[in-house]
Each structure stands twice: as structure tokens, then as C-alpha cells.
Amino acid sequence: MSNEEVLEFIKEAFEENYELMRLEGGHSITNEAKERALQQVLLYWEKLHDLAEQVTDTEITLTLPEQTTPEGRKYTIQGVVDIVQANDETTMYDVKTHDLDTVQGSIEHYEGQLNIYSYIWKNLRQQPLDSAAIIATGQTEELKQAYRTENLQVIQQAVDAWEPVVEIPIETKNVHHTIEQFGKVVDCIESNRFQAPHWEKLKQPVVARKNVPFGTHVCRNCDARFSCDAFKQYVSDKEGISNGRYVEFLDNYGDEQDRIEWIKANMEEETETDNKDENSSKHLGIAARAFATGMFARYGYDVSVRYGAESSEYDLIIAKGAKILKVAVKASQDGDWGIVPSGEEDVSFEEVFDAWLAEQDLQMVYCLVQFQDVGMDQLPGIYLASPEEVAEKLKAVGDRRMEEVPEEWRFSGERVEEMFG
Ligand code: SF4
């Protein structure tokens, strides 16, 4: 295959993979971000094609079965590596999507993992191994900044300085300790024991990134930050802000450019679909979120909109002082709110509603935006209700549909205060 054919193949494979991931994950990226990602793959090929061409065994699955955790659970360790055999030497490569800074910042974790793979390859498979390395394919901060300048010279300098291969010394004598640590993590996951570190730890820099602390580099990508006390404390301390402004930081998806791209991508995604049906449920959902956001903002609350939140339980976070309210926004133009799922045929309404209520987050409230019989030039009815109130009302109606929303639920300053409890 000529270099041009390889480049063409990479572009086609990239496009196919992107489409697959977009459909599976339900998230888009902007054309600019997509273009940059493709650039990064092509750059990786350009920079490492000598190495890539030497790979003798690609995507080798290494398995360490029948492991037992300290609490007696059975589990299997599995990893995928590439092997290069050249000049009578064998090297194992573990290709990571993480960037170089992240790898160097937590090198001990990568060493432990790669040494388990080395142990499997050498001791269990009885294969030769002379060296091992991580290939950190993620875009570094320097490369990202360089591409943003659109200056070819600056880009070339950043590319030349980029060294994505990180050698890892093979040291299998500690491998049993690492496996034990894996086992402890498995026990924690299986027993639902999760605990964020003390917030002071979030101030510690991710080593290689010097001035960028864990709380910024890692937490900003963590979905748990919305309910993480350590992150909340870290943000309050770092920014010297009052709890009332905390909500602004929940939307911290990175720097300004990252945020613009995230919002733009998801807005493009939302407006891309079904333009023909002006009253599709998707459009109603978007309109309902906008009306609800406007109402809370109008009453002086801080509002954080969860972009691309179709799959999550709630759409808005409302803040008042140290208090936070999660809000799920529902729209209807025919009495069907899509809140309570259908139950089995032989299960009573009461049982369905009780089961639904038992699974509800009672810290969350519903904002119902009623479009039924509302003209295009009129405002919809907007109501607030707790999950208990919704369940009680639907039980009383004896249906999942609710055409008449109780007047006492109507959105008002008092009603919002009531919801805060
Ligand atoms: S925000 Fe996520 S990564 Fe950060 S401390 Fe909390 S749980 Fe850990």
C-alpha cells in the first residue's frame, strides 16, 4: 500500500468509526473538533509509521484469568497490546488514547498495568520480551494550542517536539502487589464503595502538567462532579466564590474554546434531526427546556443547563446559596408526559407508580411545560411538582396521562421556594 493509499484508508476508517461512535454514544463533536481529531490520527501515522510498520503482532489479547479479590470475588485481568520484533529484540507497546501529560503524570499506574501484561507475556506465555512502552496518542496541550494558532510553523514546531512514546522499565517483581491493588478496586466497585478524595488532594498538580491541578485536569471530565462534595469544596476554595456561584462551575467543560465547541456540537445535533415535523417531541423538549430555564433565571436563580442531556435523569441544576435543585423538564401537548413507564399487564396502576416512585431521586423535581391547546404565539403553562406529587396525582387520575395539571403546581416564586424545601 502506498503512503497515499494508507492516508486514504485512515480517513475512511476514521469516518466510519466516528459515525458508529456518534450513533452508539448519542454525542456529536463539531466539524472543527472532528477535523482536529483526524489531523491527530494522521499526525500519529506520520510520526510513528516506521514503528507501526514494524508491528509483528497487532492487538494481542493478554488474559490473566481466575484471579481472586481480597474479599473472595473471582475476576479476570485482560489487556490488548502490540508486539514489535525487530533486530532480535521484542518490544511490547500499549497504545493509549490518553495524552502524554496524563501518562507522565500518573506513570506508576501505567507501569503497573504494563508490567502485568509483560508478566503474562513472559512468564505465562513464555515469550521473549526486551522492552515495553506506552504510546500516548492523545493531543497534548501544546499541540492543541499550536493547532489553534493555525500557524504552520508553530504547528510544525509542536509536532517536532511531540514524543508520544514513553518507555516503561520491565519490572515484574511487584506484579503481585499490582494485581492485589486491582482486586481491591474490584471489591470497591462490586460493593458500591466509592469515595472521592479529600478536597485538598484535588489541588495537587498532575505532576507533568506542573500548574494544572487534578481538580481541573481530571474532575472537569468527571460526570460525578455534579454531586461531588470534594469538587464543590475545591472550586469554592480555588475561585474564592460563594456557594451561590458554584453552579457556574458545574458547567466547566474545559477552557472557553472547549465549552464553545461542546455547546455548538450538541446544538447542531439537536437541530439536525427531523426538521420537517415542527411539533416533534424533540422540538417540544428543546422549547420546554428553554421556557423552564427562562423562568428560573427570571426569578433570579442560577441555572445550569445540562447540554445533550437526553439520556440523563435531569436537565437543569438550579442553585440558591448553598442549595441545589435538580430539575427534570417534561413537555406535553396531549396530556402524555412520558414520566411513568408502562408496567406489565397484570400489575395495578398503584404498584406501577409505587415502583416508579421508589426509584426516584427525591432531591429532583419535575418542571412540566404544558403546550396543550397553546397557540404558537402564546406562552405554555409551566408547573413544578415533586415526584411524590406526580405519583399521587397520576394514581388519583388512574392513568399515565394528565391533561389537567393542578393549578397549585403553577410556577411562581413561592412554588420554587417550596421545591427547595
Ligand atoms: S469530581 Fe470526580 S474525579 Fe473529581 S474528586 Fe469528585 S469523583 Fe473524583
Q: Which of 82-91, 307-316, 340-349, 410-419 has the lowest mean pLDDT?
A: 307-316
pLDDT score of 9 more than 50: yes
- Average pLDDT value for residue range 255-266: 50
* 3-190 CATH, one of 3.90.320, 3.30.70, 1.20.5, 1.20.1640: 3.90.320
Q: Which residue has the higher pLDDT, 146 or 279?
A: 146
Q: Distance between CA atoms of 421 and 419, rounded to whole angstroms?
A: 5
Spatial CB neighbours of 74, under 8 Å, sequence gap ≥ 6: 66, 67, 68
Q: Which of 18-32, 112-126, 185-199, 402-416 has the lowest mean pLDDT?
A: 18-32
Query: What pLDDT is stored for residue 250 in this prediction?
Result: 53
Pocket residue to mutate for ligand 1, from 194, 231, 233, 251, most atoms within 8 A of Cβ: 231
- Average pLDDT value for residue range 182-204: 88
Q: What own/partner pairs with CB < 8 Å and gap ≥ 24 does 77-86 have?
A: 77/116, 77/179, 77/182, 79/113, 79/116, 79/117, 81/117, 81/121, 82/55, 82/57, 82/58, 83/55, 83/56, 83/57, 83/58, 83/121, 84/51, 84/54, 84/55, 84/56, 85/56, 85/57, 86/54, 86/56
pLDDT score of 376 more than 60: yes
List phi, psi (to 5°) of 317: -120, 125
CB 398 within 8 A of CB 349: yes
Domain definitions of the chain by residue range: 3-190, 199-250, 273-420
pLDDT score of 118 more than 90: yes
The number of the ligand 1 atom at minimal distance from the alpha carbon of 223 is 2
- Average pLDDT value for residue range 368-385: 90
Query: What pLDDT is stored for residue 310 in this prediction?
Result: 45
Pocket residue to mutate for ligand 1, from 228, 232, 238, 253, most atoms within 8 A of Cβ: 228
- In order, the DSSP letters of 133-193 are EEEEEEPPHHHHHHHHHT-HHHHHHHHHH---EEEE---GGGHHHHHHHHHHHHHHHHTT-
Q: Which residue has the higher pLDDT, 378 or 255?
A: 378
Q: Which residue has the higher pLDDT, 182 or 212?
A: 182
Query: What pLDDT is stored for residue 413 in this prediction?
Result: 92
- Average pLDDT value for residue range 340-360: 78
Q: Which residue has the higher pLDDT, 163 or 35?
A: 163
Query: What pLDDT is stored for residue 47 in this prediction?
Result: 82
Query: What pLDDT is stored for residue 54 in this prediction?
Result: 84
* Ligand 1, atom 5: closest residue by C-alpha: 196
Q: What is the pLDDT of residues 279-289, one digit of tens each?
A: 467 778 888 98
What band does 277 get if pLDDT is binned at 50, 70 and 90? very low
Q: Distance between CA atoms of 226 and 325, rounded to whole angstroms?
A: 11
Q: Is the CB of 219 under 6 A from ligand 1?
A: yes
Spatial CB neighbours of 73, under 8 Å, sequence gap ≥ 6: 183, 186, 187, 190
**Residues facing residue 92 across a β-bridge:** 83, 132
CB 54 within 8 A of CB 86: yes
219: CA distance to ligand 1 center in Å?
A: 5
Q: Distance between CA atoms of 20 and 14, rounded to whole angstroms?
A: 10
pLDDT score of 263 more than 60: no
- Average pLDDT value for residue range 383-390: 94
Type of residue at 83: I
Query: What pLDDT is stored for residue 276 in this prediction?
Result: 41
CB-facing half-sphere around the CA of 124: CA atoms within 13 A: 12
Q: Is the CB of 224 under 6 A from ligand 1?
A: yes
**Residues facing residue 382 across a β-bridge:** 369
Say if domain 273-420 classifies as CATH 3.30.2010: no
Q: Could you tell me if residue 5 is left (phi over 0), alpha (psi between -120 and 50 degrees) or otherwise beta?
A: alpha
What band does 417 get if pLDDT is binned at 50, 70 and 90? very high
Q: Distance between CA atoms of 221 and 214, rounded to whole angstroms?
A: 11
Query: What pLDDT is stored for residue 415 in this prediction?
Result: 95
Mean pLDDT (the chain) is: 81
Q: What is the pLDDT of residues 390-407, one digit of tens each?
A: 989 988 888 778 888 999
What band does 278 get if pLDDT is binned at 50, 70 and 90? very low
pLDDT score of 328 more than 60: yes
pTM, rounded to two decimals: 0.55
The number of the ligand 1 atom at minimal distance from the alpha carbon of 225 is 1
The number of the ligand 1 atom at minimal distance from the alpha carbon of 194 is 7
CB 327 within 8 A of CB 364: yes
pLDDT score of 240 more than 90: no
Q: Distance between CA atoms of 365 and 326, rounded to whole angstroms?
A: 6
pLDDT score of 256 more than 70: no
231: CA distance to ligand 1 center in Å?
A: 6
Across 72-81, 140-149, 153-162, 331-340, which has the greatest mean pLDDT? 72-81
Query: What pLDDT is stored for residue 253 in this prediction?
Result: 44
Q: What is the pLDDT of residues 16-73, one digit of tens each?
A: 888 777 766 656 666 667 887 887 788 888 888 888 888 888 888 999 988 999 999 9
Type of residue at 222: C
- Across 388-419, b (16+ Cβ under 10 Å) vs e yields ebbbebbbeeeebebeebeeebebeeebbeeb
Q: Is the CB of 230 under 6 A from ligand 1?
A: yes
pLDDT score of 78 more than 80: yes
Query: What pLDDT is stored for residue 209 in this prediction?
Result: 57
Q: Which of 63-72, 109-118, 147-156 has the lowest mean pLDDT?
A: 147-156
Q: Is the CB of 309 under 6 A from ligand 1?
A: no
Spatial CB neighbours of 282, under 8 Å, sequence gap ≥ 6: 270, 273, 274
Query: What pLDDT is stored for residue 307 in this prediction?
Result: 57
CB 231 within 8 A of CB 214: no
Q: Which residue has the higher pLDDT, 27 or 382?
A: 382
